C-alpha cells in the first residue's frame, strides 16, 4: 500500500503526525511488515523523537538553529529568504526517510516515540510524505 499524506504545518518546528501513520497502517491490514516514510521536500525532514515532553522538541529546534544560523555571509543561495539555505542544510543533516517495523498490525514505536515532520522554513501549509506499507 502506498499513500501520500499531506501533513499540515503552521510554520517552523517539529510537527507530530504519528496518528495519521497509525491510521494508514491499520487500514493496510498488514500484520507484520515495514512502514517506510519519505518526505518530498528539500527544506523539511522526518524524525522519530520523544512525544511526551515538549521541551525536547524545543531544545532540538534551538540547538539546530544555533548550529545552522540564518544570514550566514557564506550563503550564496539567498533569493528565497533568510530561512531557505539554512533549511536546506538542516534537511541534509537530518533524514528524508524513515523505516518502522509493523508488528501485529501496529507500528513498533517505543512508548515515548512519535513521528515528526521537521519543518525548517517559516512556511505554513502542507508537506507531502509518501507512506509505503508492505508485508
Backbone angles phi, psi at 8, to 5 degrees: -80, 130
**Residue 13 CB-half CA count within 13 A:** 15
pTM of the entire predicted model: 0.96
Domain 2-134 carries which CATH code? 2.60.120.460
Residues 129/38, Cβ–Cβ less than 8 Å: yes
Would you state the pLDDT for residue 96? 98
Would you state the pLDDT for residue 40? 98
Across the beta sheet with 106-107, what order do the strands follow?
2-9, 125-134, 33-39, 97-103, 106-107
Per-residue pLDDT tens for 98-119?
999 999 999 999 999 999 999 9
Would you state the pLDDT for residue 101? 98
Could you state, in order of their start, the residue ranges of all structural domains in the chain?
Answer: 2-134
Residues 3/128, Cβ–Cβ less than 8 Å: no
Q: What is the mean pLDDT of residues 21-39?
A: 98
Read off the C-alpha cell for 124. 505554513
The CA distance from 107 to 17, in Å, is: 13
Q: What is the mean pLDDT of residues 69-77?
A: 96
Bridge partners of residue 48, in order along the sequence: 115
Amino acid at each position: 500500500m502506498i499513500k501520500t499524506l499531506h501533513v499540515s504545518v503552521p510554520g517552523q518546528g517539529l510537527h507530530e503526525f504519528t496518528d495519521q501513520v497509525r491510521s494508514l497502517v491499520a487500514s493496510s491490514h498488514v500484520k507484520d511488515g515495514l512502514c517506510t516514510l519519505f518526505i518530498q521536500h528539500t527544506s523539511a525532514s522526518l524524525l522519530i523523537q520523544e512525544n511526551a515532553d515538549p521541551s525536547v522538541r524545543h531544545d532540538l529546534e534551538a540547538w539546530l538553529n544555533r548550529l545552522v544560523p540564518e544570514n550566514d555571509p557564506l550563503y550564496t543561495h539567498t533569493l528565497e529568504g533568510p530561512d531557505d539555505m539554512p533549511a536546506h542544510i538542516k534537511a541534509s543533516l537530518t533524514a528524508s526517510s524513515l523505516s518502522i517495523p509493523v508488528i501485529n498490525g501496529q507500528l513498533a514505536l517505543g512508548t515515548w516515540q512519535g513521528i515528526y515532520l521537521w519543518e525548517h522554513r517559516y512556511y505554513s501549509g502542507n508537506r507531502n510524505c509518501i507512506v509505503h506499507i508492505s508485508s
